[in-house]
Amino acid sequence: MFDKYLNFVRGVSVNRVGKLGVVLTTSSFVTFIVFELARITGILTNAYLGLITYLLFPLLFIIGLILIPIGWYQLKRQTQKPTRELLKERFGDAETSGGFFGSKVFVSITIFTLVNILFLSMAGTRMLAFMDEPVFCGTACHSVMNPEWVVYQQSPHARVRCVDCHVGEGADALLNSKLNGMWQMISVTFDLLERPIPTPVRQLRPARETCEKCHWPQKFYGSRLKTIARYDKGETSTAKYTTLNLKIDPGGGSSGHSGGIHWHVAPSNEVRYASVDDEREEMIWVEVRRPDGSYHRYVNKRLPTAPQSEVEGRALDCVDCHNRATHIYETSHDAVDTRLRQKALPRDLPFIKREGLAALQVNYPDRDAAMKGIENHLRSFYSQNYPDISAAQSSTIDSAIAVLRAAYNRNIHPEMHIRWGTYASHIGHKGGRGCFRCHTQDLVDADQRSIADDCALCHSILAYGSAEPYEYLLPSDDNPPEWPMQQYLRDEFLNYVRE
Ligand code: HEC
Ligand code: HEC
Ligand code: HEC
Ligand code: HEC
Ligand code: HEC
């Protein structure tokens, strides 16, 4: 078999071009097999390996395959002899006798062609599968996808593949995404890409075909208790708690609740909206169809009405609220508060909340400057104001510096112009955005009625910047002035739970 191969190879490598072709095909084929074996057995695990194995080697292989007939064609032009005669010359009589189609050369060519097709389709399928892996999406165009990759790995979806949200199922989706991917490669290569990558991502598949493969509205029962700890800027960075009972129910069904946060995406309801420049920030109108046939249209009274009511709307789906389902960037306050709560930042360092925040919020020109800036800020603050602590607890200060640097690296990506707040979340209502894009007095129907925005519509409130996480459920001895309000909120919660 090996002899036969050598013979055949000698026969087809007619000149320099042909020889190069043979060397390329053979070596890329062999290294592909070696790399693939090393990958399967776990000897090699580098993320870039797939790029080499599934893109580079097959490419070299194909180039080699093309060079071989080019060499042959050159030989024919030089010698001006017919193919039959050349075959005889190169392979000898024994190999070419019996007519071309019955000849041994023909059999060899057929076998090699089949092997090539088999190899290329194997490499091709492996490559398509590899291109669906998050490491490929996240690292192939390193600087560009690095922010998404970094935050993704720490998100609740770290085990969900990028393509499950970005591509969905079906041949159509696959083709579209590959075409889109090609355009992305071109724009990265020629630096045509916008930085930061603009949102909203309008070509995302409808959530029905992505998110709802794993989550579905009927599944959200009842409510979810959430306690948010915020730390003040005083010397001891004292904790203040806000506890919400988020009413995530879609309503109806077996839960008994009349309607909650996922009411918008319950199968029988439809909410559509149009926004200024299709940015999904400032609403022009919002309309609702309920299963009982009722229809409501709310129009933004702050915008001039005439041309804008004609804008085509968009059906609200999961990503209108969960725009940061997996690419979750923290606010600077959240970044510090979360780490204080996890005890990664030590609260016994005086003013650590205030100073940590100040060190993070500086608009550093690049990553190196930030790493130095954060260190200098903390060191000089403690050495100037607390020389004792600075000397006695230098390792505590070191670890605080490391934690703040990591918080910076997670959230800020100067190469992609991503800074604090570049990608804001629509969950909640910080700064009047999120839910309050629609739940605002500015959007009114024909009777001047606006979409509800009372504080207990979406969540019960059990503590609000309080010393205790469940402050409003606890008895009070001293009857503070806000006591009636607290009792009202407590009863609202208890009634909701009893319902
Ligand atoms: C749970 C679903 C989900 C997964 C998994 C996911 N994404 Fe996304 N991604 C989204 C949504 C939703 C948006 C749209 C945000 C918007 O329109 O504001 C988005 C937006 C993006 C953007 C635009 C910039 C931005 O941050 O909004 C990029 C780039 C991106 N994703 C890349 C990736 C990569 C790379 C991976 C895998 C490492 C990935 N995504 C995994 C849901 C997902
Ligand atoms: C391939 C399955 C899959 C897909 C697709 C998917 N998710 Fe998830 N999602 C998960 C898993 C698994 C979790 C983690 C559950 C856990 O940690 O308990 C999760 C968690 C969540 C959470 C809760 C996060 C938290 O803080 O606990 C939200 C919100 C969410 N997904 C929204 C979405 C949205 C929006 C989309 C579409 C853009 C989506 N998911 C697509 C599997 C998926
Ligand atoms: C109107 C805004 C809105 C829409 C639309 C929406 N969600 Fe949510 N969702 C929320 C809010 C608010 C929460 C609670 C946030 C939290 O827990 O921090 C939530 C919580 C969740 C959770 C966590 C539930 C749990 O048990 O903790 C999942 C999963 C989820 N949503 C998935 C989805 C999916 C899938 C869709 C689309 C079918 C969707 N959401 C549509 C606002 C929305
Ligand atoms: C695109 C506009 C829009 C956005 C964004 C939006 N909502 Fe709504 N929401 C509506 C409309 C419209 C109604 C129904 C108003 C009516 O009664 O006619 C509604 C109703 C509700 C209801 C009451 C359901 C019922 O029983 O009638 C809750 C709870 C709710 N929204 C929570 C939220 C939360 C939480 C967010 C943010 C995470 C949010 N909404 C974001 C448009 C929106
Ligand atoms: C349309 C629904 C909706 C309405 C109306 C609403 N909220 Fe919220 N609120 C939310 C959601 C959703 C969150 C985010 C919870 C999370 O972090 O996951 C939130 C978060 C909060 C937080 C925590 C902020 C933080 O992160 O520190 C406070 C405090 C709060 N709401 C108070 C109020 C008050 C007071 C009102 C009445 C003026 C109100 N909310 C009305 C939906 C609503």
Token duo for residue 400: 């605080």
Pick the range with the lowest mean pLDDT from 58-72, 161-175, 413-427. Answer: 161-175
Residue 153 and residue 46 share a domain: no
Residue 210 lies in a domain: no
Whether 244 contacts 228, CB under 8 Å: yes
**How much is the average pLDDT of 454-472?**
95
Residue that terminates a domain, selected from 85, 100, 131: 131
Ligand 4 atom with minimal separation from the 457 CA? 29
Residue that terminates a domain, selected from 379, 398, 416: 416
- Cβ–ligand 4 distance for 439 under 6 Å, the answer yes
Instruction: Render pLDDT for 359-398 as a digit per residue (tens, 0 to 9).
Output: 999 999 999 999 999 999 999 999 999 999 999 999 999 9
Residue 412 and residue 440 share a domain: no
Residue 58 and residue 117 share a domain: yes
Residue 200 lies in a domain: no
Residue for token pair 């290329």: 120
User: Residue 409 sits in which domain range?
Assistant: 332-416
219 versus 24: which is more confidently predicted? 24
Residue 242 and residue 316 share a domain: yes
**Per-residue model confidence (pLDDT) at position 255:** 60
210 versus 312: which is more confidently predicted? 210
- Cβ–ligand 3 distance for 248 under 6 Å, the answer yes
As a whole number of Å, the end-to-end CA separation of the chain is 80
Helix axes 2-12, 104-131, angle to 10 degrees: 90
Residue 41 and residue 174 share a domain: no
88 versus 16: which is more confidently predicted? 16
pTM greater than 0.75:
yes
Residue 262 lies in a domain: yes
Residues 6 or more apart in contact with residue 418 via CB below 8 angstroms? 147, 196, 329, 411, 412
Give the number of domains in the chain. Answer: 4
Quick one: which of 276, 266, 260, 279 has its CA closest to 320?
279
Residue 71 and residue 102 share a domain: yes
**Per-residue model confidence (pLDDT) at position 267:** 82
Residue 171 and residue 46 share a domain: no
Helix/strand number for the chain, H first, E second: 19, 8
Whether the predicted pLDDT of 142 surpasses 70: no
Residue that terminates a domain, selected from 356, 390, 416: 416
Sheet holding 459-466, edge to edge: 224-231, 239-246, 459-466
Measured in angstroms, how far is the CA atom of residue 248 from the centroid of ligand 3?
Answer: 7
Residues 260 and 495: their CA atoms lie apart, in Å, by 15
> Which of 155, 160, 167 gets mutated to test ligand 2 (max ligand atoms within 8 A of its CB)?
160
pLDDT-based confidence at residue 241 (cuts at 50, 70, 90): very high
Residue 107 lies in a domain: yes
Question: What rounded mean pLDDT belongs to the chain?
Answer: 88
Residue 272 lies in a domain: yes
321 φ, ψ (degrees, to nearest 5): -105, -45
pLDDT-based confidence at residue 463 (cuts at 50, 70, 90): very high
Measured in angstroms, how far is the CA atom of residue 176 from the centroid of ligand 4?
Answer: 33
